[in-house]
């Protein structure tokens, strides 16, 4: 499905080492009470569901059904190839059966099929048992057969092929023997060694998740925003209906004159850049002598249904820029945009370029798409049928519920974000490991109807931002090619949400004479939350860096320099060159116009 990122591998490792079932006896009466409560919660959710939504979701799947129909027709039109591949599968299973007999006689064999690198589902030593090894390899052979069969279907366009590949993979992942008690040797041995307590604990975990309405991926009780996560010191210095602006307290006697304003995505919480002190990008930048400001977005409710993309620019970005300029006395700011925050920043820069607006001195983009023609697997959820269904739901509710977005992202990494926790929590009866990134990932936010519909249709479906003069924002025709200020972009080589090649291509074509591109050797999140390795510990990170020129991404990569460890020091050096001379650090937050309204991380992040 993908090459797991370092974050993914860390999650799998944690799942294998998470806390074992409690040694305390589980009260059966309490389990019955929990089961009753979970059932009642399920009934309540069913009662609040609009039947029309279910119908709309079924209609939204029509393109998927049609794609599978086309694939079946294509395969039946070439029966010889299908027979050949089926015969090869049969022969492989015969070889596997022969290996099984050899193993039963105590002889060593060479595996017929092995898991892909990074596949942690079969890591436990009990999968080496002859019977379970047979089951594992049979599953892998059949999985490869199905994957290759649908991939070989001729005559499908790219969209239909991607649909067939994706949903075939969902089916294959769901049926892995590791996901079921009777076919998971580790779960069986754990149940025996704990006298069934692991199963009781797993059932209790399941009931708790059924009550919550979502699977638990981390220990939610171990983190509290503002207490042990998002704790970099600062103050909220501005608040309106859409944002809170946080000014962080300097830790150095002198700071760079030019302030840094961070525009995070509003699809998630801002504190992905301020997790814990050891991996906080915010703290790192403050410690390097930068005056850092952060936008914290409002978690919208139904009353925000008409808030659009342009409002996020005018009432969010522009208001924040003016506050930062007033507080620091600087005419312009350095700006960072992360993911959709970077997409918005790009549009704003095009508008500002046409208005001769110089309030932004330099721009940095973290995993930002502006050309959505190859937008990764998210494009599977943005065809006309699915957007029609989504629009109807958002028009009724006013917003898109955060759990819907979270479910979509989880499907894109089903083995890691769904099935690994099914095994860990339910089959093994363990508690999820406390992991700050997964806590942040579970802290989802809502999307206003107008903004989200515009964003998905104009950008994902029609790709108007990539067409000069096609997209209109704030009365201006967007042409990203004309953006000329100094720029820095970070892509991630294993990014499944914003593929790095799609980030690079439009960035390299911009007019700026200073375009530094960094490719982090990780994924969408770990590629950005990428702190320098502490002294004495082995370095596992690296990144490629070079100026972006108007050449294909693969050509750029061949000529780029690979460096060990984090890209953060490279960025601070680059940003320092854009930030003017050092001045005395401010002794207090805000000014007479923008007075402190409360301590960081503010109130909007808690909603």
How many helices (H) and strands (E) in the chain?
22, 17
As given in the structure block, the two tokens for residue 565 are 């460890």
Q: Kindly list the domain boundaries of the chain, sorted by start residue.
A: 6-221+414-432, 234-408+439-601
Average pLDDT (284-306) is 98
As a whole number of angstroms, the distance between CA 498 and CA 515 comes to 19
pLDDT at 7: 42
Confidence band, pLDDT 50/70/90 cuts, at residue 44: low
Question: Whole-angstrom Cα distance, residue 402 to residue 391?
Answer: 15
CA distance 562 to 328: 37
pLDDT reported for residue 55: 66
User: What's the pLDDT at 49?
Assistant: 63
Asked if CATH classification 3.40.50.1010 holds for the domain at 234-408+439-601, the reply, yes or no, is no
Residue 433 has pLDDT above 50, yes or no: yes
* pLDDT level of residue 39 (50, 70, 90 thresholds): low
Q: What is the DSSP letter of 229?
A: B
90, two tokens: 């049969």
| pLDDT for res 593 | 97
Higher pLDDT, 411 or 17: 411
Which distant-in-sequence residues (6+ apart) come within 8 Å of 236 by Cβ?
244, 245, 246, 296, 596, 597, 598, 599, 600, 602, 603
What is the pLDDT at residue 2? Answer: 36
Is the per-residue pLDDT at 5 higher than 80? no
The answer to whether 493 touches 332, Cβ cutoff 8 Å, is no
**Going by C-beta distance under 8 Å and a sequence separation of 6 or more, which residues neighbour residue 519?**
490, 491, 492, 493, 500, 543, 544, 545, 557, 560
pLDDT for the residue numbered 1 = 35
Question: Catalytic residues, which ones?
Answer: 339
Among the residue ranges 49-58, 149-158, 159-168, 366-375, the one predicted with the least confidence is 49-58
**So what's the pLDDT on residue 80?**
87
pTM beyond 0.75: the answer is yes
Q: What is the mean pLDDT of the chain?
A: 92
pLDDT one-digit tens code per residue, 546-576: 999 999 999 999 999 999 999 999 999 999 9
Which pLDDT does position 57 carry in this prediction?
72
Cβ neighbors of 123 (< 8 A, separation 6 or more) are 12, 16
Q: Which of the four pLDDT bands, split at 50, 70 and 90, describes residue 42?
A: low
What single-letter DSSP state applies at residue 481?
G
Per-residue pLDDT tens digits for 253-288: 999 999 999 999 999 999 999 999 999 999 999 999
CB 394 within 8 A of CB 400: yes
């Amino acid at each position: 499905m993908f090459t797991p990122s370092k974050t993914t591998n860390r999650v799998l490792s944690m799942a294998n080492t998470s806390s074992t079932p409690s040694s305390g006896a589980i009260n059966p009466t309490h389990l019955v009470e929990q089961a009753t409560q979970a059932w009642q919660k399920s009934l309540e959710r069913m009662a609040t569901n609009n039947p029309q939504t279910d119908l709309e979701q079924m209609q939204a799947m029509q393109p998927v059904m049609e794609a599978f129909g086309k694939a079946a027709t294509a395969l039946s039109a070439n029966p010889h190839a299908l027979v050949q591949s089926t015969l090869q599968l049969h022969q492989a299973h015969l070889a596997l059966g022969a290996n099984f007999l050899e193993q039963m006689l105590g002889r060593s064999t060479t595996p017929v099929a092995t898991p892909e690198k990074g596949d942690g589902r079969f890591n436990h030593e009990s999968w080496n048992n002859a019977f379970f090894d047979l089951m594992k390899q049979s599953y892998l052979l059949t999985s490869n057969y199905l994957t290759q069969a649908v991939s070989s279907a001729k005559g499908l366009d790219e969209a239909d092929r991607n649909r067939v590949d994706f949903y075939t993979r969902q089916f294959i992942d769901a049926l892995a023997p590791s996901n079921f008690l009777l076919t998971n040797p580790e779960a069986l041995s754990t149940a025996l060694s704990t006298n069934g307590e692991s199963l009781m604990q797993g059932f209790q975990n399941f009931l708790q998740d059924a009550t919550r309405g979502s699977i638990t991926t981390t220990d939610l009780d171990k983190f509290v925003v503002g207490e042990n996560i998002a704790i970099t010191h600062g103050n909220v210095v501005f608040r309106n209906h859409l944002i809170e602006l946080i000014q962080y307290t300097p830790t150095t006697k002198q700071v760079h004159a030019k302030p840094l304003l961070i525009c995070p995505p509003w699809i998630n919480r801002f504190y992905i850049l301020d997790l814990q002190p050891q991996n906080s990008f915010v703290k790192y930048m403050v410690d390097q002598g930068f005056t850092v400001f952060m936008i914290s977005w409002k978690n919208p409710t139904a009353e925000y249904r008409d808030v659009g993309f342009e409002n996020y620019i005018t009432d969010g970005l522009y208001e924040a820029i003016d506050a930062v300029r007033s507080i620091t006395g600087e005419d312009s700011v350095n700006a960072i945009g992360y993911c959709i925050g970077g997409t918005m920043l790009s549009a704003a820069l095009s508008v500002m370029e046409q208005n001769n607006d110089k309030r932004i001195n330099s721009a940095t983009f973290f995993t930002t798409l502006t050309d959505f023609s190859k937008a990764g697997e998210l494009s599977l959820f943005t065809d006309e049928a699915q957007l029609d269904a989504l629009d109807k739901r958002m028009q009724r509710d006013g917003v898109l519920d955060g759990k819907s977005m979270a479910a979509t992202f989880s499907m894109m990494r089903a083995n890691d974000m769904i099935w690994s926790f099914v095994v860990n929590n339910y089959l093994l009866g363990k508690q999820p490991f406390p992991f700050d990134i997964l806590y942040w990932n579970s802290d989802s936010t809502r999307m206003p109807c107008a903004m989200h519909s515009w964003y998905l249709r104009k950008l994902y479906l029609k790709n108007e931002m990539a067409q000069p003069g096609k997209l209109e924002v704030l009365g201006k025709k967007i042409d990203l090619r004309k953006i000329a200020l100094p720029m820095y972009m970070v892509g991630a080589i294993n990014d499944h949400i914003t593929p790095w090649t799609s980030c690079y291509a439009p960035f390299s074509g911009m007019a700026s004479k200073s375009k530094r591109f960094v490719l982090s050797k990780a994924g969408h999140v770990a590629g950005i939350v990428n702190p320098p390795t502490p002294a004495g510990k082995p370095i596992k990170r690296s990144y490629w860096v070079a100026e972006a020129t108007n050449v294909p991404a693969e050509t750029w990569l061949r000529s780029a320099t690979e460096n060990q460890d984090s890209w953060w020091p490279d960025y601070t050096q680059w940003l320092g060159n854009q930030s003017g001379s050092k001045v005395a650090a401010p002794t207090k937050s805000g000014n007479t116009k923008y007075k402190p309204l409360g301590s960081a991380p503010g109130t909007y992040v808690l909603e």
